[in-house]
Structure 1
Amino acid sequence: MRQIVLDTETTGLNPRSGDRIIEIGCVEIVNRRLTGNNFHRYINPERDSEEGALAVHGLTTEFLSDKPKFAEIADELRDFVSGAEIIIHNAPFDLAFLDAEFDRLGLPAFKTHVHTVLDTLVRAKEMHPGKRNSLDALCDRYGISNAHRALHGALLDAELLAEVYLAMTRGQNSLTIDLIGAEESGSGEGETEPAQLAEILVLCADETEIAEHEALLQKLDKDTKGKCLWLTKPAEENPA
């Protein structure tokens, strides 16, 4: 199954007020493996970023001024995501911006070009109700390092989200994977050779350790006034 983890950076928070996409990052997963076949583009939004957004992504108007406009990368993006399951954290945000960009070009909504959209924020809230479920919080929860993430970046965040998604869903296919592995390594009937056990080492107590143990039991017996269970002999069974 082909999956695409997608993230965007934007000039602000509201596409209806004219905010635009300035960066798109897509990370490809096939059969739960990162392929390295990623899609990443910076985009000239033809406007400045809001101050708050600029503080998050750090992509200045000057830096973006010579980058392609969305119309120039739209077909390439559609080809890359076509037919795939799209994985997004807080999907309504990114989809609203993508739909707005597509609408400017007279194209159908983004969802019509892909198979399905999976929102990892919704999945995380179901798995961890009442807890923080931001991308940073999920990285901490699943032990994924994001120390190199000084600023938000679409490709970097998509790469982190891909690792988070694989960690969140790690147990779902374990039985299937185990069965496949058994069939591939067996004799053709799904049988595998029993693993050989390592040699069992038996370490016996020496005389000093035995004496110290006995002394400890005697002290316990004294402290409990003769009721130390470890010194109590089991009653002999009556002969049949």
Structure 2
Amino acid sequence: MNTSSFFLLLLSLVLSISEAFEASCPPAKCGHGGFVIKFPFRLKTHQPLQCGDGDQGFDLFCRNNSTVIHFPSYGDLVVESISYDTMKLNLLDPKNCVHEVFLNLNLSLTPFHYYFVLKNYTYFNCSVSLGPSVAEIPCLSGSQHHVYTVESPVRVPDSCRIIKTVAIPFAYSSYLSDSSFGLGLTWELPEPVDSSFHSKAGWSHLAQKKVLMIGGIVLLAAAAVLMSVKILRAKIVDSHGEKENQFTEELIAAQHKSPMHQSC
């Protein structure tokens, strides 16, 4: 087998492995205008287990052509977009109340945390309005109660009671969107757990990438070795040719110097 044939064989092998992996995890999205869902996320009803790390909270599903993620501490949130390069998950609250999400969403048992810098804010509920000096959160308030959030620490009036102090990206503002502003999350991939089959399956995608990378390295190394062997063989052939030419020249010279040639 010559160098070109061997190189093509290795290239075909690597491409076959790549195609096999892509076939096992086909691209998926919700609706024609949706974004592509790939590792570590998995579209639960369309992609097999090894395509994502669903056991750790990366499962997504479709609802009315929208992509949705479920958080046990809050419920469902709509995924507006995913940036895999910056590892950012942009979410929308279908209830149009970001501060209800901030107040109840517990990310401590998930691989996610807020993308933006956090500050401690205190939510408090008042029986009477505090007036225009403090912005009331409409989606959490009613005719008999008024909910506010201010940066901690804070002293609240006697007519108010503290609900909770939480670390969130932003306080309420009437100028900001009530459905999405601040709902940007990033994620960390958890370490694989040997005793968990699902965790191993989720991490198999990384193993597949490593196989492809190793295959590419082997391909380049094999090509380099074959080129080196080819160059070495060429040098050996050239060396033998030079030695044969030198031997022939020396033989001719010796024949010219022999007594038989001199007598002639």
- Bin the TM-score by the shorter chain: under 0.3
Q: TM-score, normalised by structure 2?
A: 0.23
- Which TM-score applies when normalising by structure 1? 0.24
Pick the structure with greater CA Rg.
2
Structure with the higher strand share, 1 or 2: 2
Higher helix share: 1
